[in-house]
Amino acid sequence: MHQFRQDTGTMRPVRRNFYDPSSAPGKGIVWEWENDGGAWTAYDMDICITIQNAYEKQHPWLDLSSLGFCYLIYFNSMSQMNRQTRRRRRLRRRLARASIPPGVPALPVKNLNGTGPVHPALAGMTGILLCAAGLPVCLTRAPKPILHPPPVSKSDVKPVPGVPGVCRKTKKKHLKKSKNPEDVVRRYMQKVKNPPDEDCTICMERCGHMYHLLCLVAMYSNGNKDGSLQCPTCKAIYGEKTGTQPPGKMEFHLIPHSLPGFADTQTIRIVYDIPTGIQGPEHPNPGKKFTARGFPRHCYLPNNEKGRKVLRLLITAWERRLIFTIGTSNTTGESDTVVWNEIHHKTEFGSNLTGHGYPDASYLDNVLAELTAQGVSEATAKA
């Protein structure tokens, strides 16, 4: 009863839980909340049980603080509210239905104890039916995403050609703040003697310049104040944009395995590792602890010309603290935690069941566009 992680050698205990047939999982009931992308995310099983118990007792609301979460559940409006930010999200209750993914042979639903008819609610479904106290639970066989390659020995791990080094660390440095925001803005401006007759696109009032100086100063003062300036019209970045990524380590190397769609090339593996810590002045809640779930995180690129180009730019983005930030997780709803920062990575190795793997013909071009939007390109990296 143990789980062995092949790439790190980590051994963890595994356990099997039994849920009462009258509980939410026993009845096939799932409670979900709506994330920022409009998708529905299921609560952990223990939380589902707690919500279902309160729902069946017709409680008007439920406080999840006893489970370590700062949320209130309102059954009348079917919503979840964050006690700190007062933000609300939609909530729903549904009866889980099993499905068999394409290519997986379906099994007829049957009682494993060989007695009694199939429950009417499960008529026509496929899967394996387990009976406990007369109430059926339907399980299905589904393929699991391949998140990591087969074991790789240290002697098989090689440096990436054309990319110096194998590790990059970031510290609690930076934000290149200027004492006077107007000095920063003037650095990237040039007076126009005969400007066109058009509006300042920040305040939309007539003026004799392309932008009002004070409008740009106000825009800069309300932003990251890192010494860079972004054009509000075309989004071009002047200077070097830096982010709020916490301190951590980035490693990269070649492994002797191929990604789907890149059969003739080896794979570049990137490993990001960020520990928990205390938020700095640039973060949402300075002085408060932040969590770092799921680290170290493994990401993959093909070892071809474009893949190595992406790696070089990701190194630059890492050093500018742009890969991660501190915010609220779209997956779990947890606040004050390390999250991705608009530069997508492939974290699934040998399949693409989650959408975070290969094959994906457009991924490398898409991530290059995302890096450019963050001010990271070959021209700025060399500068």
Write the pLDDT tens digit of every residue in 307-332. 999 999 999 999 999 999 999 988 78
pLDDT for position 110? 47
- List pLDDT tens digits, range 147-190: 788 887 888 888 998 898 888 887 665 545 555 777 776 776 77
What is the tens place of the pLDDT at every residue in 207-248? 444 677 777 777 767 766 666 676 776 666 777 789 999 999
Q: Once rounded to an integer, what is the mean pLDDT over residues 258-278?
A: 95
Neighbour tally for 272: CB within 10 Å: 26
Give the model confidence (pLDDT) of 72-82 as tens digits.
999 999 999 98
- Asked if 338 and 291 count as a contact pair (C-beta separation under 8 A), the reply is yes
Closest to 269 in 3D by CA, of 149, 144, 145: 149
Structural contact between residues 19 and 25, judged by C-beta atoms closer than 8 angstroms: yes
Banded pLDDT at 198 (limits 50, 70, 90): low
Separation CA 229–CA 269 (nearest Å): 33
User: Residues of the chain with pLDDT > 70: what percent?
Assistant: 73
Average pLDDT, the chain: 79
| DSSP 3-state percent helix, strand, coil across the chain (nearest 5) | 20, 25, 55
What are the backbone angles phi and psi of residue 109, rounded to the nearest 5°? Answer: -70, 130
**What are the C-alpha distances in Å from 63 to residues 42, 75, 335, 375?**
18, 11, 17, 43
Structure tokens belonging to residue 347? 């974290």
Cβ-in-10-Å burial (0-12, 13-18, 19+) of 189 comes to middle
Of residues 290, 284, 218, the one with CA closest to residue 247: 290
Q: For helices 363-373 and 305-319, what crossing angle results, to 10°?
A: 30
pLDDT the model gives residue 109: 45
**Radius of gyration, alpha carbons of the chain:** 26
Tell the residue number behind the tokens 């399980």, with chain if given: 139
Please, are residues 293 and 339 in contact by the beta-carbon 8 Å criterion? no
Q: Comparing C-alpha atoms, which of 182, 184, 185, 216 is closest to residue 201?
A: 216
Neighbour count for residue 216 (Cβ, 10 Å): 24
235: left (phi over 0), alpha (psi -120 to 50) or beta: left
Token pair 């970045």: residue: 237
Mean pLDDT in residue range 128-146: 48
